[in-house]
Amino acid sequence: MTLAGRSAIVTGGGSGLGADLARGLAEAGATVWIAGRRMEALERVADGHHALRPVHCDVTDPASVAAMFEAAGTPEIVIANAGAADSAPLHRTDDALWDRMLAVNLTGTFYTLREGWTRLRKAEWGRLIAVASTSGLKGYPYVTAYTAAKHGVVGLVRATALEAARSGVTVNALCPGFLETEMTDRSVANIVDKTGMSDVEARAELAKNSPQKRLIRTGEVTAAALWLCGPGSEGVTGQAISISGGET
């Protein structure tokens, strides 16, 4: 499978899953714009990769998202990956936490997909992909705001896919379980701080959510994204694809 001649945008591309997605698309032949708020991190990811091009973007700012697309032109592949996960029990979830989780995880995805679809509406081929989470498919305790936002992302994808159904553009969500990334490292640190567990115990606690009893590798999510961009995926749209070791 080759993406030679294609271009892509990946938000949240400065670390973790976003960086892996960007590298995977570039290795498949695409020119990839990696977007985020921290230019130093983006430049580290892009260093040595002629097909990776950093661009500043705050996905919670629609003007910034529009400027990102102006810099990149009209990429055929748009991956809304930028996100954050803060945890607190519901009774301690204040307005600021709630607003922050919805802004980056849901509204930022909305701005990114809206701009991508606006530019791709008349395209013969395109892929809009949102990185959601198993939190978009089920509930987890202590992450009510994050879970609500990711449920919103899945709904956004399903509705957009119906609008795009008669075009050459497919719209899907990837829903990984707990990943081996910096975001999970922060979750582990929070568990250690709140419970007194060791780092190993905290990771094992998160891995319990998966029937395979392990964290998901970023490469597994990238492989799913590449499949959605490859031949034979034309009929796959409006789906929330769980990459979670069988978690339900």
Q: For residue 190, name the pLDDT band (cuts at 50, 70, 90).
A: confident
Q: Is 241 within a domain? A: no
The per-residue pLDDT for 241 is: 98
Q: Is 45 within a domain? A: yes
- For 68-117, write each residue's pLDDT tens digit: 999 999 999 999 999 999 989 999 999 999 999 999 999 999 999 999 99
Judged on CB neighbours under 10 Å (0-12, 13-18, 19+), 2 is exposed
Q: What is the mean pLDDT of residues 193-211?
A: 81
153, 230: one domain? yes
CATH number at residue 17: 3.40.50.720
128, 199: one domain? no
171, 193: one domain? no
Q: Is 116 within a domain? A: yes
Given a cut of 80, whether residue 186 has pLDDT beyond it is no
Given a cut of 90, whether residue 47 has pLDDT beyond it is yes
36, 124: one domain? yes
3-state secondary structure of 114: helix
Greater confidence (206 vs 85) lies with 85
Given a cut of 80, whether residue 168 has pLDDT beyond it is yes
145, 207: one domain? no
For the beta sheet containing 169-176, the strands, ordered from the edge strand earlier in sequence to the opposite edge, are 52-56, 31-36, 7-11, 77-80, 126-131, 169-176, 240-243
The per-residue pLDDT for 53 is: 97
Given a cut of 80, whether residue 66 has pLDDT beyond it is yes
Q: Is 210 within a domain? A: yes
The per-residue pLDDT for 192 is: 78
Mean pLDDT of the chain: 94
137, 188: one domain? no
188, 119: one domain? no
Q: Cα(41)–Cα(47) distance, rounded to whole angstroms?
A: 10
Q: What is the mean pLDDT of residues 41-47?
A: 96
Given a cut of 80, whether residue 187 has pLDDT beyond it is no
Number of structural domains (the chain) is 2
The per-residue pLDDT for 216 is: 93
122, 211: one domain? no
Whose tokens are 């892509």? That residue is: 8
193, 231: one domain? no
Known catalytic residues are: 146
CA nearest neighbour of 25 among 67, 53, 65? 53
The per-residue pLDDT for 180 is: 82
The per-residue pLDDT for 60 is: 98
Q: How many residues in total does the chain contain?
A: 248
Query: By residue range, what is the domain housing residue 206?
Result: 178-215
Q: Is 225 within a domain? A: yes
Greater confidence (1 vs 73) lies with 73
Percent of the chain with pLDDT over 70: 100
The per-residue pLDDT for 128 is: 98
90, 195: one domain? no
The per-residue pLDDT for 22 is: 98
